[in-house]
Amino acid sequence: MTQAVDWVAIAPPLSLVIAALTALLVDAAWPRVRVLAGLVSLTGVVVALGFTMSGRNEARSTFCFADGELPTSCSWLVDDVTSAWWLIMLIATALVVLLLWTAAVSGELPAGELHFLVLASAAGALAVAAAQDLITLLVAMETVSLPAFALVGLRRVDRRGAEAALKFFITSVVATALSLLGISMVYGATGSVAAGPVAASIASGNAVTPVIGVGMVLTVVALGFKVAAVPFQAWVPDTYVGAPIPVAGYLSVVSKAAGLAGLTIVLVRFLATYVDTWSTMVGVAAALTMTVGNLGALRQRHIVRLLAWSSVAQAGYLLVPLAAGGLPEDVTALQAYALMYAVVNLTAFAAALAVASWGKSDLADCMGLARSHPWIGGSLAFALLCLAGLPPGVVGLVAKVAIFRSAVDGDLIWLAVIVGVNVAIGLVYYLRFLAVLVQPAASDVAGPAGVGAHDEDDHWAGLDRAVPWSTEFVVGITLAAAVVLSVFPGLLFSAIS
């Protein structure tokens, strides 16, 4: 009884894997033409994106196993929700590939391996969003993680990169181990690892208590770890700071999206019956996550670390729709927010990369950036506003509205209020950053307008190496996307549904 394979359903991750292998081989074959690997991987992502878009609007499942007695269940399901996750992940992956472009082309990082690892990890992320049994899910999660470890440590001569990789690795594998323990307990309690049977077993009350409860909690640990939910958030700042900035961006978006997708599947498909229990659990986690994230960011001066903490806080917001019960509308809200977050967060990381390319990493180094480099600084400012959820970053605001709406519709008024307070706390540091960006140089305050511009150029003189075109490109398209979405926020939702 060999399983039938629906190739259309697995085409996007498959194209990523193929592109990954091709990139590796191409780079091995023509090591001097470093740009090849990037082109291959970009092509792979675009092809995957094409498959995803063309395969929308029809649910496909494959890798099914039937045994007569039990209802048919499948390991792989591609429906609207999955497609939307794929869309988000693939867009983000494409952006990350572009962000890595220069590092690969310049030889700073090994091109073939780099692109291979990114695409392999992304393929895992895609698989997470489609997985319908815990084994596939777990393996897919590991497919996301393992290449990511290597990516974080890719700058081998860098002490901080190595340290970051080790920390990321250790915390991650412990989380995975806990998750595995949880899976084993769910399996023990229900006798299955597939969504349908597990859910049926729980619904019929046959699942063994309290093993199923403990198993449920432990199962989501690795997912929570990916999402960076409290108490699994501690690795985030250290890892992001130590990793190459595009990789940090990858972790903050694609890896996080994989965690959210997995979490959605586990909670909604497997544990729907326990919605009351886990909704409180996720709600508390969301509240803690956003609070800790915002507090952690409050006094940061290091750009990437600030963005890291901010991504923890954003993870808290992202958890809210799940806490609200993970109904289809909630998932829509979650994905809309995730898409918004993916776009603007990568803008921010791209800008951070640009700043880092001048050898700067401190907030104070960004003084007046929006004036001296309107393109980079302005985009960063806009991204911060979107993250803060304040107009003119309307897209961020609308996404937050969707989050709030989930909470309110799910009768989680308390959580909505906490989100509100956190949005306000978050403002403090986003605005501090923003203020630095637009701050005129000291001379501008004293002198008449127009004179200051020259002094600012001096301020940046000597460090003003050209920003790589790929980085500028990423900044440009993400900014354009954010602006367009701000004017027509409806597109945000139509993109994912």
Within 16-75, which residues bind another protein (CB under 8 A)? Answer: 17, 24, 63, 65, 67, 70, 75
Number of H helices, E strands in the chain: 22, 2
- From the list 47-55, 247-255, 259-267, 445-453, the region that binds another protein by CB under 8 A is 445-453
Counting Cα atoms < 13 Å in the Cβ hemisphere of 407 gives 26
CA 314 and chain centroid, separation: 10
What span, in angstroms and rounded, lies between the C-alpha atoms of 122 and 119? Answer: 5
What span, in angstroms and rounded, lies between the C-alpha atoms of 481 and 483? Answer: 5
Q: Which of 25, 281, 327, 483 lies at the binding interface for another protein (CB under 8 A)?
A: 281
240-263 burial, b at 16+ Cβ within 10 Å, e below that, comes to bbbbbbbbbbbbbbbbbbbbbbbb
Q: Which residues pair with 133 in a beta bridge?
A: 194
Residue 477 beta carbon to another protein: minimum distance, rounded to whole angstroms? 22
144-182 burial, b at 16+ Cβ within 10 Å, e below that, comes to bbbbbbbbbbbbeeeeebebbbbbbbebbeebbebbbeb
- From the list 33-41, 85-93, 213-221, 472-480, the region that binds another protein by CB under 8 A is 213-221
- From the list 53-61, 254-262, 350-358, 391-399, the region that binds another protein by CB under 8 A is 391-399
Task: Give me the 133-152 binding string for another protein, x by CB under 8 A, dash otherwise.
Answer: xxxx-xxx-xx--xx-xxx-
Residues 6+ apart with CB under 8 A from 115: 20, 23, 24, 27, 37, 38, 40, 41, 97, 100, 104
Q: Which of 6, 79, 80, 409 lies at the binding interface for another protein (CB under 8 A)?
A: 409
- Residue type present at position 315: A
Residue carrying the six token digits 């609007």? 57
211 makes contact with another protein (CB under 8 A): yes
377 makes contact with another protein (CB under 8 A): no
Residue 213 beta carbon to another protein: minimum distance, rounded to whole angstroms? 4
Which of 124, 249 has the CB closer to another protein? 124
Residue 3 beta carbon to another protein: minimum distance, rounded to whole angstroms? 5
User: Which residues in 153-192 contact another protein (CB under 8 A)?
Assistant: 153-154, 156-160, 162-167, 169-171, 173-178, 180-181, 183-185, 187-189, 191-192
What span, in angstroms and rounded, lies between the C-alpha atoms of 52 and 37? Answer: 22
Residue 496: phi and psi, rounded to 5, are -110, 5
Q: Which of 121, 279, 347, 372 lies at the binding interface for another protein (CB under 8 A)?
A: 121
- Residue type present at position 439: Q
- Residue type present at position 332: T
Which of 14, 474 has the CB closer to another protein? 14
Q: Which of 50, 196, 392, 476 lies at the binding interface for another protein (CB under 8 A)?
A: 392
Residue 167 beta carbon to another protein: minimum distance, rounded to whole angstroms? 4
CA 398 and chain centroid, separation: 19
Residues 6+ apart with CB under 8 A from 192: 70, 73, 198, 201
What span, in angstroms and rounded, lies between the C-alpha atoms of 420 and 1? Answer: 54
216 makes contact with another protein (CB under 8 A): yes
What are the respective helix, strand and coil percentages of the chain, to the nearest 5?
Answer: 75, 5, 20
User: Which residues in 305-324 contact another protein (CB under 8 A)?
Assistant: 305
Residue 380 beta carbon to another protein: minimum distance, rounded to whole angstroms? 15
115 makes contact with another protein (CB under 8 A): no
> CA quadruple 379, 381, 386, 392: dihedral positive or negative?
negative
Burial class (CB in 10 A: 0-12, 13-18, 19+), 439: middle
> CA quadruple 40, 44, 47, 49: dihedral positive or negative?
negative
Which of 42, 165 has the CB closer to another protein? 165
* Contact between 496 and 88 (Cβ < 8 Å): yes
Which of 283, 474 has the CB closer to another protein? 283
Encoded tokens for 380: 């960063």
Q: Assign 177 to helix, strand or coil.
A: helix
Which of 39, 173 has the CB closer to another protein? 173
Residue 317 beta carbon to another protein: minimum distance, rounded to whole angstroms? 12
User: Which residues in 325-364 contact another protein (CB under 8 A)?
Assistant: 332, 336, 363-364
- From the list 29-37, 46-54, 257-265, 438-446, the region that binds another protein by CB under 8 A is 438-446
- From the list 91-99, 245-253, 345-353, 435-443, the region that binds another protein by CB under 8 A is 435-443
Q: Which of 48, 104, 338, 402 lies at the binding interface for another protein (CB under 8 A)?
A: 402
User: Which residues in 219-248 contact another protein (CB under 8 A)?
Assistant: 221, 225, 230-232, 234-235, 237-238, 241-242
Q: How many residues bind another protein (CB under 8 A)?
A: 156
113 makes contact with another protein (CB under 8 A): yes
Residue 235 beta carbon to another protein: minimum distance, rounded to whole angstroms? 6
